[in-house]
Amino acid sequence: MMAARETNTLRGELRCDEPLARYTSWRVGGPARCLYRPADVEDLAVFLRRLPADEPLLWLGLGSNLLVRDGGFPGTVIALQGRLAEIEVDETQLYCGAGASCARVARAAARAGLTGAAFLAGIPGTMGGALAMNAGAFGGETWERVVEVQTIDRSGRLRRRPPGDFRVAYRHVEGPKGEWFVSALLSLEPGDVAAEQARIRTLLERRAATQPTGQPSGGSTFRNPPGDHAARLIEAAGLKGYRIGGAEVSSKHANFIVNTGDATAADIEALMRHVQAEVEARFGVRLEPEVHRVGVTA
């Protein structure tokens, strides 16, 4: 266990009544009561210690796989985009902060001649989010590579924890209550730099060809049910292109709901419910959201 360095003043950026639409990949969402962008992990520890014990907290990276309702979030958002984003490589291990984007981690590993992290290029989020949900893409999953994580609690205490302290499953991670990820140590293998960089380019080209990367979305909307794919079921139900308000089931990939320009969070959530109902009525399968929904309705 480690204690964060003491300091007397906050060095991060605090905003009040901050619209969250600008922080989410769906480009929807009402305001947060407060939003804090920490300068570093020590500054984050100081800020957390000053919060009331019952203050609701939301940790936000790139805002993918997240639907913030139109009434906003009645608490404090810790925004890590561009913060806690350090990446260090040492032989066959890579250290990264929770705010580092998965794509940056993939590229850094490739430049260092390490293989095993290319799949991260297909995850449109930060490592903190990838750790929290065991994010995966193109056959790889985050926790397959984790050697150790560092967490922080409300009192600002930092702990180093092995994977054995967590229950990890498909798009699901359970760990000690009241702790959040601030960094991770990954184990990778030596390889060819050019080959790994080529693999990343191929994966990104495949993603652009099969997913609506040019439109605001939350990433994959539903988890794949056992032995099947959510996209196949949604498409088979005839829902590609179906719209509610400004939200639409993507015609490019049925498991993506896109914001066509003027969608509200209510539109997106209503469309999610419609998709669930139609798929269940047609195939007897209840699709479970992969997207995390937070906040209050307007």
3-state secondary structure 222-241: ECCCCCCCHHHHHHHCCCCC
Contact yes or no for 275/289 (Cβ under 8 A): no
Which bin fits 110, alpha (ψ -120 to 50), beta or left (φ > 0)?
alpha
Instruction: Indicate the DSSP class of residue 287.
Output: P
Q: Which is nearest to 244 in space by CA: 277, 271, 217, 272?
A: 271
pLDDT at 138: 87
Of the listed 220, 248, 250, 269, which one is catalytic? 220
Angstrom distance (rounded) from CA 110 to CA 282: 44
Per-residue pLDDT of the chain (298 residues; tens, 9 = 90+): 334 444 568 999 999 999 999 999 999 999 999 999 999 999 999 999 999 999 999 999 999 999 999 999 999 999 999 999 999 999 999 999 999 999 999 999 999 999 999 999 999 999 999 999 999 988 899 999 999 999 999 999 999 999 999 999 999 999 999 999 999 999 999 999 999 999 999 999 999 999 999 999 999 999 999 999 999 999 999 999 999 999 999 999 999 999 999 999 999 999 999 999 999 999 999 999 999 999 999 8
Question: 293 catalytic, yes or no?
Answer: no
**Cβ neighbours of residue 204 closer than 8 Å, sequence gap 6 or more:** 121, 122
Of the listed 179, 196, 248, 290, which one is catalytic? 290
Of the listed 171, 223, 232, 293, which one is catalytic? 171
Intra-chain end-to-end CA distance of the chain, in Å: 42
pLDDT at 1: 36
Question: 160 catalytic, yes or no?
Answer: no
pLDDT at 108: 97
Which bin fits 238, alpha (ψ -120 to 50), beta or left (φ > 0)?
left
Angstrom distance (rounded) from CA 130 to CA 124: 9
Angstrom distance (rounded) from CA 128 to CA 98: 4
Angstrom distance (rounded) from CA 3 to CA 129: 23
What is the number of H-type helices and E-type strands within the chain? 6, 21
Q: Where are the alpha helices (DSSP H) in the chain?
A: 41-50, 102-111, 127-133, 193-210, 230-236, 265-283
Domains recognised in the chain with CATH numbers: 2-79 (3.30.43.10), 87-210 (3.30.465.10), 230-294 (3.90.78.10)
Question: 18 catalytic, yes or no?
Answer: no
pLDDT at 167: 97
